[in-house]
Structure 1
Amino acid sequence: MSSSKDKDAILVPTVREVQQKFAEILSHGEDITWDLLTQNQGDVLKEKLSLFEANSNMFHWIWDQRKYTNGQSLTSLFFVMVVNDVCNTKLADQSRSWRLYPVFRCRRCVEKTGQSSSIDCCMTYVTQNSKCGNWNEFLLSPRFCHGVMVTPNRGVYKLIDGQVELKTYSISDRVLGYLTDPTDYSISPESLTKASKTPIDREKYNPGSAFGVTVKLVSEFSACERMLSLLLNPKNVQQSCDAIDLSDSLILFTHNTNNFRLASKIIKEKNCSSILANQQRSIFDKISKESERIEGKVDLIRSANGVPTKLQLKKVLQTNPEKRKQRKESDKDPNAVKENPPEITTIKVKDEDINLEIFGTVLKEHIVSLESFEILITSMSEHLEPEMFKLILQITQTFVEHTREEMCQQLKYYFSTESVLYQIILCIKKHYPSWNFNEIEEQSSDILRRVRYYFASSDPNSRVEFLKKCDKCSGYYDLFDSSKPDYSNFF
């Protein structure tokens, strides 16, 4: 009879099974994908890195690479797996004894068109302990444990006929003097099991935190390991993972700051990998169709959805200082959008029912995160008068229908309705803080112009005439001039 330990071991997925799940979540067929962060979205990257036991250098190494992408950040997460129980590299992907290391791939060189990076071009690779300027340097430099390394080629997850493409490399002959380095960080099946069975220790309600609670981290494992355990070992008994905890961790894969509804669905249906993969695929499908229509075959760039929680939006939308003294019961729940409500088509603003269909189909079809969009409009309905609510959506409709297409042609990446709506709200808050209806209506063209500038200034692609030939690969690069004037105050 098998021991309980043997039964647990059966649940450990093989290296190939793990990488297959990551590929289904982080890639789109054979396309090269990137996650975009604009100059003012560094906190999103910090939030992702906080899920690991990342040292401070990791953020600075990644953020510094913006000099190659016009001041914006283009990265993609992948995972290196190292096994030490096999010598034959052909057998490594079947091992169930592995260590997992997160790596961020950063765009550096591009093809001569300036729009798409080549698989053969230089890319920067950032690990917990190193920054490598190209793939060959990466294979020699990172301080992983001894064994056989299994990784997607050049850090690019590709699904060929539905199967992940993997490369193996022996790293057993390296002379590594880092093994006592306290910052060495890896994830193992053992640490995932421990994370899945350690209860969350929460302090009392704290309105200053994103979800109204303070979470005490357990030092034996990183914050993301609860989520990865649920993803990689779905049959394990999950005694600790709840919707709030999972929602915080999902930003690692979704590039979205609002994941509560997705987390709730994952926990309810107990099918983490397929639900997450399907959600990711739907987003990349939208981006892919838009990219093909605009340019043909280009890399897929996913912009960050930075719409905050309802609790944080309250500070942005608060138009009457006296109301700040009042605290509704609904304010205590920053996720007042229900877990799985029907799609909102009509919303009550004060005593008026407003049909959202009147703002056109284009606005609706470019919503990427329905949760973020509904957080925005429900927050608006609680703090704005009906006429102001309709005016802001009319301005959003105008931008999406008449300006968005032009911007997509120029920027070569997909941005969503909810991103446009949120930037319009921020623009009004900054430049028209009195929230005077007549003033905002009169200045609607100025608002559209400022929001257009915001998106134009987030272009990660350098102008073709400025590209220089790289002497290490077939690609081209440009160095962002950090001395250029800062026009952020304009927006």
Structure 2
Amino acid sequence: MSAPEDTKSLIPTVREVQQMFAELLSHGDDITWDLLSSNQAEILRKKVEDFEDPEEKKTNLSYLIYNPKFFDSIWKQRKFTNGQSLSALFFVMVVDNVSDPKLAEQSRSWSIHPVFRCRRCVDDNTGRNCSSEDCCMVYISQYEAFEDWNTFVKYTRLPKGYMVTPYRGIYKLIDGQVELEAHYIWERNKSIYATGKDRCITPDSLAAAPKCPSHTPIIDPKNTFSLIRSFMVREWKFCSCDRILYLLLSQRDGEKSSDASELSDSLLLFTHTINNRRLALEMIKEQKYHNILGHELKMVYNQISEEAKRIEGKVDLIRSANEVPSKKELDIMFRTKTKLKGLLIDRVRKEEINLEDYGSAFQKHILNNESFDNLMYSMCENLEPEMLMLILKLTQTFVENTREELWQLLKYHFSTETILYQIILCIFKRHSDLNIKDIEEQSSDILRRVRYYFAQSCPNSPPDLLTKCTKCVGYYHISKN
């Protein structure tokens, strides 16, 4: 944890680190969650993998095939949220060189530990409110899971020292300053019932991150032992969480990441979006990593918050995942699914499409311009103009006629580009010949199927199934999903 005296001035204090996290991960007094439907497990898996220790992977064969226990502990909490996952990442910082909790926040000798909180209870059983304020939440570290905050604080097996954390794992800014509290952790046996391996982030690991070269997997597919051999000869890249945190926390000017792909991948920790290349390129170009990322996240939560104000009752802010893949992946998908490959067809350029023709709601609910533009460019390059216009019209119809109804029912935000993507997937699956006449005739069925896709990802249990919690003001239901 400690650092040489001559470099300590460059290391941010515990409060400065937690201030940065709060500015990125909070939205006023709101409680925020990231939603994953039951078929989006890989997004959470990618987030969790960012905290794996590369040294363990190289030296311990049992870790060469992905250790799922940390992931599984988070994923199985879907039983409290109707089979969908509602979680939020926060960070606990441990200081072991002070004897006074008031000094812990100013320490420059610390370790960072990722913890996920998962929604367990909601404070109302009528279905009107979907808020977890003052309710039990499940807290999952790399060691264990606890179903309420007090038990987590009292029995956590995080390292010995003062644990500095936002209260209940919820980042809040009070007059612009992060609200923190400190609890002392006594040394405990970590070897019993551990749910994952010890992976902490320290000033030393952050300082080493930009100096460690990245590596790509080396796979040998030639024989029946290729899987084991590939793991045995694999060179692992340095943890991407260390790289992104170094860039966000560095107090020196001119710190630069030259690898846009790697930065894009690591941004998933904060954005809940699988494709962040444009954001990564902007961060590298401007070298203002914290400001640009903070602006992006604030824009997203502001839009979700504005919609939440229209709901009668109080709701948490829920951010759904953006699964729209990269431009390259989209092009492969289109060319594989369409029969237009190699044919000379009239195409329309994206710049020739006037989005005002598709209504104000269509434009208003575009949340990620990169994902939307990727979809538009891929459609323009691979579809006939009539098909492209039909898909946009179907998206407009859904946004104007169905989206509001679903928002009131589900109480979470989903964007124009997500709707557009799901309509494309439905057409490719159900109408692979891309017959425009058939698609027009079946447009109601397509919109019905897309509506069902979103409706089945509702994280809220039916009110009549909720049971009063004995530990808090809320109610919960354990589903069989």
Question: Could you state the TM-score of these two structures normalised by the residue count of structure 1?
Answer: 0.85
Shift of 1:351: 11
Q: Which of residues 113, 135, 145 is equivalent to 2:149?
A: 135
Whichever residue aligns with residue 323 of structure 1, its letter is: K
Matched-pair identity in % = 53
Q: Does 1:268 align with 2:282?
A: no
Q: Distance in 2 between matches of 1:303 and 1:352?
A: 29
Task: Figure out how many residues of one structure are paired with residues of the other and give that number.
Answer: 445
Shift of 1:390: 0.4
Within a 5 Å distance, the mapping from 1:86-235 to structure 2 comes to 86-113=98-125, 114=127, 115-171=129-185, 173-178=186-191, 183-201=197-215, 218=236, 221-235=238-252
Shift of 1:177: 4.6
Q: Deviations over 1:2-41 (max 9, x none)?
A: xx95453212111111111111111101110000001111
Change in CA separation of 1:386 and 1:149 when aligned onto 2, cut-off 3 Å: same
Q: Which residue of 2 aligns with 1:57?
A: 69
Give the gaps of 5 or more residues in structure 2.
54-66, 219-233
SS at match of 1:104: strand
The answer to whether the 8 A contact 1:19-1:164 is kept is yes
Q: Distance in 1 between matches of 2:258 and 2:29?
A: 33
SS at match of 2:309: helix
Q: Distance in 2 between matches of 1:30 and 1:276?
A: 20
Q: Distance in 1 between matches of 2:258 and 2:110?
A: 23
Change in CA separation of 1:463 and 1:355 when aligned onto 2, cut-off 3 Å: same
Give the gaps of 5 or more residues in structure 1.
205-215, 327-346, 483-491
Q: Distance in 1 between matches of 2:368 and 2:313?
A: 25
Q: Which residue of 1 aligns with 2:63?
A: none
Q: Which residue of 2 aligns with 1:426?
A: 425
Q: Deviations over 1:225-272 (max 9, x none)?
A: 101100011527646552111100001000011211111111111111
Whichever residue aligns with residue 77 of structure 1, its letter is: L
Q: Which residue of 2 aligns with 1:213?
A: none
Q: Which residue of 2 aligns with 1:207?
A: none
Q: Which of residues 87, 91, 96 is equivalent to 1:79?
A: 91
Within a 5 Å distance, the mapping from 1:78-477 to structure 2 comes to 78-113=90-125, 114=127, 115-171=129-185, 173-178=186-191, 183-201=197-215, 218=236, 221-235=238-252, 238=255, 241-318=258-335, 319-320=337-338, 323=341, 349=348, 353-477=352-476
Shift of 1:160: 1.5
Deviates more, 1:155-164 or 1:291-300: 291-300
Q: Which residue of 2 aligns with 1:486?
A: none
The answer to whether the 8 A contact 1:124-1:131 is kept is yes
Q: Distance in 2 between matches of 1:352 and 1:98?
A: 51
Shift of 1:104: 0.6
SS at match of 2:90: strand
Q: Distance in 1 between matches of 2:130 and 2:338?
A: 48
The answer to whether the 8 A contact 1:468-1:476 is kept is yes
Q: Distance in 2 between matches of 1:238 and 1:200?
A: 17
Q: Distance in 1 between matches of 2:288 and 2:275?
A: 19
Q: Distance in 1 between matches of 2:427 and 2:235?
A: 38
Q: Deviations over 1:410-447 (max 9, x none)?
A: 11111100110011011111111111111111111111
Shift of 1:145: 1.4
Change in CA separation of 1:481 and 1:269 when aligned onto 2, cut-off 3 Å: same
Q: Does 1:66 align with 2:78?
A: yes
